[in-house]
Structure 1
């Protein structure tokens, strides 16, 4: 097993995978929301442990950005520990790229945790889910957290658009979609011009807003996770082939969508041959700062 990412020999980098199972019987979401998400995505398999996730991606010669979602204030449910993901990356440095997640509601405590996770655990980025965490990304209360992330030169990945979490449940499981309009990230991109922002997912019903922000702001990327490529809106495919060919990233949303299924459907859509390797790996290397971090080429 390699002691670092072998970027040259990776077939792809999946920038969007979830740690759903800590291996000790604790899951990242309450049982009702977890079951609802499984129904929405048509997945009834139990989520893998972090070690199983690493084995899965290693067998495919892929690396994976792995994170949980800390929404303890809104959900009243304990998260998967960020440290557990960082420790898994230490066991599997050839596969796992560890991201952390901190609920912005934690205020100064969260800011201190973010700094500690960067300094002591080597996390490589941060994940936010505005709808589950119940905050607008441009809420100034979250800015001290962004300051720490930007100062460290790390990316911040934000869920956008509709979510499978709570879908079909009474009242959507209490999850409000309004927080995840990607236009809120335009303010963040203005106020933190050096912060790399990744807008996660085709942003239904705000796809055009996401495309506008990503074309206008140089440090904003879009990941393609959470949808089979065969359902991508035509304007997303058009921009991925042209104006955003250097800013669109492969992501699956594993374990809810497998990279195998995603890649099979990706092969069938009209992406230019010269753009495919950019989406699958090259753009992620730049967005995640992997060359700057001294990983193998």
Structure 2
């Protein structure tokens, strides 16, 4: 089973507007129409069975409506993660309830949500997620077009891991674009997961090889950042890396994610 651990989709009424805004801000291209249907079509083309969908509430009042929409789009091909906002009044209290509603994790993007990842005010949320065994997928590093400072740096993420060693952390973008040296210093080799989204074909080849060899293969997850990359090209690039063994490629492409998400084995691929 192939699992893309990092994708984005948007409601049909706003997808086109959102894609246009992000392309203008970040100077990047898109490779689907940003809708659920577009994602599934991309998955079918790439041979991907399941995608984790990441959504971010940029305002506290967006949290509940976002969860309602995410519940409506959940199916056997699309697994949405919940969102949070540090200013949402009931973020800690809702963690247990969101787990009962079928969410396996959260996506946070501190640059959009206005907090530093190691701020003490979000520690109760981390503690609650850790207690419930829920995953937190952290945006990390530069987000093109957003102003400084970077709110989720490898050093700050290492501080979170030090304080919450049992938290099921996934650090996006292999620690973050533009902070590869810092990632190597603070994150490689730690007992945290990292996904390959967006940076897989952006990183200098030698840096990517070093990362893949220094961080345990059991803690790496394939992610595309669709629609901002082509899922087919990202997966093809990963499986073509000559310095990874076949078993390591299988782990990164889906086996690790299946285990982290608690999916049953053996896994039957989705029909083509």
Q: Which TM-score tier does this pair reach, normalised by the shorter chain?
A: 0.7 to 0.9
Deviation at 1:137, TM superposition (A): 0.8
> Structure 1 CA distance, aligned partners of 2:133 and 2:80?
15
Aligned residue number for residue 127 of structure 1: 107
Aligned equivalents of 1:216, 1:267: Cα separation in 2 = 22
> Any stretches of 5+ residues in structure 2 without a counterpart?
268-272
Q: CA RMSD in A?
A: 2.8
Residue number in structure 2 paired with 1:277: 250
CA distance in 2 between counterparts of 1:201 and 1:187 reads 18
Q: Deviations over 1:52-85 (max 9, x none)?
A: 4345435624211112111116xx9889712222
* 1:158 matched to 2:138: yes
TM norm structure 2: 0.84
Q: Say yes or no: does 1:81 pair with 2:53.
A: no
Asked whether the equivalents of residues 207 and 236 of structure 1 are also in contact (C-alpha less than 8 Å), the reply is: no
1:97 aligns with 2:84: no
- 2:24 aligns with 36
Of 39, 49, 62, the residue aligned with 1:53 is 39
Q: How many aligned residue pairs are there? A: 264
Which of 181, 193, 210 is 1:238 aligned to?
210
1:19-60 CA distances to partner (integer Å, 9 max, x unpaired)?
2x212x1359868743425x6222275311x24434543562
Structure 1 distance, partners of 2:204, 2:221, is 14
CA distance in 2, matches of 1:61, 1:45: 15
What are the superposed Cα offsets for residues 103-125 of structure 1, whole Å, 9 maximum, x if unpaired?
Answer: 1122x422233332222x21011
How many angstroms apart in 2 are the aligned matches of 1:78 and 1:197?
A: 21
Find the aligned partners of 2:62 and 2:115 in 1 and give their Cα distance. Answer: 17
Contact 2:171–2:193 (CA under 8 A) maintained in structure 1: yes
Structure 1 residues without counterparts, runs of 5 or longer: 1-9
Q: Which has the higher contact order (CA 8 A, sep 6+)?
A: 2
Contact 1:237–1:270 (Cα < 8 Å) also in 2: no
TM-score, normalization by structure 1: 0.77
